[in-house]
Amino acid sequence: MPSYEVRTPQAAYSVLVEWGALGRTASLIPARTGRVFVITEERIWRHHGSRLTAGFSCPPEVLYFPGGEDRKRLATVEQLAEQMVAREADRTSLILAFGGGIVGDVAGFLAAGFMRGIPVIQAPTTLLAQVDAAVGGKTGVNLASGKNLFGAFHQPLAVLIDPQTLTTLPEREYRAGLFEVIKHGVIRSPELFELMRRRIQDVFARQPEVVERMISESVRLKSEVVSADEREADLRRILNFGHTFGHALEAETGFVRFLHGEAVGFGMQAAAELACRAGYLDRAACDLIRAVVDEYGPIPSLAGIDPDRLIALMASDKKTLQGRVHFVLPEAIGRVRVVTGIDPALVRASIQAALG
Ligand SMILES: NC(=O)c1ccc[n+]([C@@H]2O[C@H](COP(=O)([O-])OP(=O)(O)OC[C@H]3O[C@@H](n4cnc5c(N)ncnc54)[C@H](O)[C@@H]3O)[C@@H](O)[C@H]2O)c1
Ligand SMILES: [Zn+2]
């Protein structure tokens, strides 16, 4: 089974990627583990739960929550923790996060805090979570005042990725995840970018070999970046390609009009334009990035978006340190650099160009 190693000062673990891998879940549980608590959503469990429990001699406890951004809150973590206590969880318990990025973030944070920390295994079931959220140990919840403002780093014991779970993923969610895969290609993998460019029909058809390749390559790259730099400082920042503009678009539209990946699609268009206009990227490469993003669209209408509002939101993003906006700009397909101090007029023109 293809496996990628993550090594951080806090932990070392494997990320396994294989069609049908869910059947091996039980074999990943360490010998002296007490109760296993699966945190999931009811519909994910309905689709894939039986494959996950196949190898367990003693069935795990299953706790559901309804999912959705508005449930990614401290209240949910508290409720789940109380349910665990009611079912006799203790320090030897283990959490299995089985779902998309919402489940992964909530269950990961629950594990980080329960009895001051118990192990978690991430078993992501959306493309976005498989290629991004499940690897790297970031966990947390939203506050009323903003997304992901409350959390912890808690590296998993292992990450188990079964691309077969994607067969039931709604089309729009799948497409949103594809933008993060394109992002990985642009920042660090020309091969992955070529795969996304050349095999678009197979990607849309969720052809197993292509799906496994795009997940594996994304995981390889994210594992490398996270291992080199656990806490966002320098290298990890490159993962934010498309996100500076994308987060602003999500915030401006109240997090309801665009899925996160769709906003990143827009953000990559704007960032490619900015890289070109600021003289880091040639026009042909910029147009190629934009064309591939377009092919994986369309994203919901951008009508009525005001560039100046996006600029104001970028300045107040939590990733903006001391008022300096960092842009991750491609210099070629497969290579990016982090730049600050860009002329606001160029930023505005690039947003305008991406809005079309
Ligand atoms: N921790 C990180 O590093 C990190 C990175 C990126 C994103 N995130 C977080 O991830 C969250 C978004 O995650 P997401 O896009 O996976 O959304 P999500 O978890 O809401 O899942 C999307 C939808 O797909 C459904 N679903 C999930 N798996 C399914 C399956 N196999 N079959 C059918 N339906 C399925 C869910 O019920 C949900 O309705 C955001 O809150 C974001 O902040 C975290
Ligand atoms: Zn993202």
Ligand 2 centre distance from Cα of residue 82 (Å): 31
Residue in this structure with the two tokens 């704007």, named with its chain if needed = 270
Question: Is this model's pTM higher than 0.85 or not?
Answer: yes
Q: In the beta sheet, which residues pair with residue 338?
A: 328
Residue 234 pLDDT: 74
Atom in ligand 1 nearest the alpha carbon of residue 176 = 15
Q: Which pLDDT tens digit goes with each residue over 160-209?
A: 999 999 999 999 999 999 999 999 999 999 999 999 999 999 999 999 99
**Residue of 52, 69, 128 to mutate, ligand 1, most atoms within 8 A of C-beta:** 128
Q: Which residues pair with 94 in a beta bridge?
A: 36
In angstroms, the CA 162 to CA 155 distance is 19
Tokens linked to 261: 């990946």
**Average pLDDT over every residue of 272-301:** 97
Helix (H) or strand (E) holding 99: strand 94-99
* Inter-CA distances, 138 with 57, 118, 141, 151, 152, Å: 31, 15, 10, 8, 6
Residue 318 CA to ligand 2 center (angstroms) comes to 15
When pLDDT is cut at 50, 70 and 90, the band that residue 75 belongs to is: very high
User: What pLDDT sits at residue 315?
Assistant: 87
Enter the tokens of residue 167: 């067969």
pLDDT of 15-37, one tens digit each? 999 999 999 999 999 999 999 99
Residue bearing the CA closest to ligand 1, atom 12: 101
The predicted pLDDT at position 319 comes to 63
Whole-number Å distance, alpha carbon 206 to ligand 2 midpoint, is 21
Residue 99 Cα to ligand 1 midpoint, Å, equals 7
Q: Judge whether 182 and 293 are in contact, CB under 8 Å.
A: yes
CA atoms within 13 A on the CB side of 338: 16
Report the 10 Å Cβ neighbour count for 247: 24
> What does the pLDDT read at residue 10?
83
Please pick, among 247, 277, 290, 326, the residue that the annotation labels catalytic: 247
Please compute the mean of the pLDDT values over residues 205-223 and round it to a whole number. 97
Contacts of 109 (CB under 8 A, 6+ apart): 77, 139, 140, 141, 151, 152, 154
Share of the chain above pLDDT 90, in %: 89
Evaluate if residue 242 carries a pLDDT over 80. yes
47 is catalytic: no
Ligand 1 atom showing the smallest separation from residue 127 Cα: 16
